[in-house]
Structure formats: structure tokens, C-alpha cells
Chain A
Amino acid sequence: KQEVTQIPAALSVPEGENLVLNCSFTDSAIYNLQWFRQDPGKGLTSLLLIQSSQREQTSGRLNASLDKSSGRSTLYIAASQPGDSATYLCAVSRETSGSRLTFGEGTQLTVNP
């Protein structure tokens, strides 16, 4: 059974700092990995999707990497801003359709002005 773990559970940083969120998964037979952002009282917003054949994806100040063989992914946030404060979740899928996601418990990020 696939298990997804995210470390740390919570992180507080000053504005402007670069930071890394970690995600690990036990079964390396994944088809893709996704990073989501969740704001309080809201649903999830997809940030980045990495196919199993890819090593990384970038969007603005966000960069996600994937090392499938070691079962690890990182989300790098450059020059953090207070607006980045949210919970970040990673999820993996075994299906080519990207359905049936298995989620980690999330990292709650606070960026202090």
C-alpha cells in the first residue's frame, strides 16, 4: 500500500527566505506526482504536476523535483512571501489517468512579514 509522508508538518520562515518542502513515498511505481496548495477553508489548487519520466517542473518561484527511484520529491519556493502562507500537499498516482491520488498529510507553511 502506497504511503506518502511530508516533512516537516509545519514550517515558519521570515519573508524573503528560500525554502524546501519534502515529500516521500513508499512505492516507486508511480505515474505522476502533484503538489497542491490549500488555503484555510478552501479546496486544493494544483501547483505542479511531474510525470514519472520527468525530473523537475518549474512555475514562477516554484520548482518541484522528483527522484522516483529513491521515492522522494521536493518543492522549492524561492524568495518566500506572506501570500505563500498555506498548507502544501503532495500526492502520487499509479494510474496513467492520474486518478486515485494518494495524499500526504501536508506541510503548513507560515511566512512572516
Chain B
Amino acid sequence: NAGVTQTPKFRILKIGQSMTLQCTQDMNHNYMYWYRQDPGMGLKLIYYSVGAGITDKGEVPNGYNVSRSTTEDFPLRLELAAPSQTSVYFCASSYALPGLNQPQHFGDGTRLSIL
């Protein structure tokens, strides 16, 4: 039972570098999400997707981009890494229909440091 898989688990970037955080789910969920969690804080939604080809901004989208070409994959891209993007990034997925909401399933996170 893989669930939601995130890679890499850890990464250190230099300011200005770019990278893609990978996320894949094997539960055939239609919704997928990217969150960031800063130390001692709750999670904040970066982007989400309601299905392949459809993405939308969350609460803190600046500095990030996403794409959803398949149901399974939802990569998050940082184009010009900044120290403020040092955080733990969580990907999640859920199955949702109007009037039917299921809990979100989370990956184990990617710990990203930008120096």
C-alpha cells in the first residue's frame, strides 16, 4: 500500500536554484494538494488540483508552479529558490464529489533547506 509517495525526502538548495518536488498517488484520487509547514505552524495550501489538467492557487502560491498531466502525479516546481521557501512540503490526495468528502491522505513530506 504505497498511498502518497513524495521524493526526495530531504534536499538542500542554493539561492536561485530550481527544483521539482515529486508526488504520486496510487489510490485513483481526483483531488491532489501541496502544502507547506513552517516550524511550529499549521499547514498552508500552496496549490491544488481537482483532476488531470486542472490546477488552482491556494493560500501561498507565489514562487511555485504545478502541473497535473495525469491522475497519479502532481509535481511542485520551485523556479528561483529563496530562503523564505525553507520549509517542509507535504503532498496530499483525496477522493471528492459534491456532497461527499473524504479525508485527505498525506505523504511523509520533503524537507527543503535553501541556503
Contact = CB atoms under 8 A, between A and B. Distances in A.
Contacts, number: 71
Contacts of B41: 105
A97 interface: yes
A70 B103 CA distance: 24
B77 interface: no
Contacts of B50: 97, 99
A1 to B, nearest CB: 9
A101 B37 CA distance: 13
A4 B42 contact: yes
A103 B43 contact: yes
A61 interface: no
A71 interface: no
A103 B44 contact: yes
B96 A98 contact: yes
A42 to B, nearest CB: 6
A103 B90 contact: no
Given A97-B31, A105-B40, A105-B42, A43 B108 contact: yes
B48 A100 contact: yes
Contacts of A78: none
A31 B102 CA distance: 12
A24 interface: no
15 contacts: A31-B101, A34-B103, A46-B104, A49-B101, A95-B101, A97-B50, A98-B96, A98-B102, A99-B33, A100-B48, A100-B58, A101-B43, A102-B59, A103-B44, A105-B40
Interface of A: 4, 31-32, 34, 41-46, 49, 89, 91, 93, 95-106
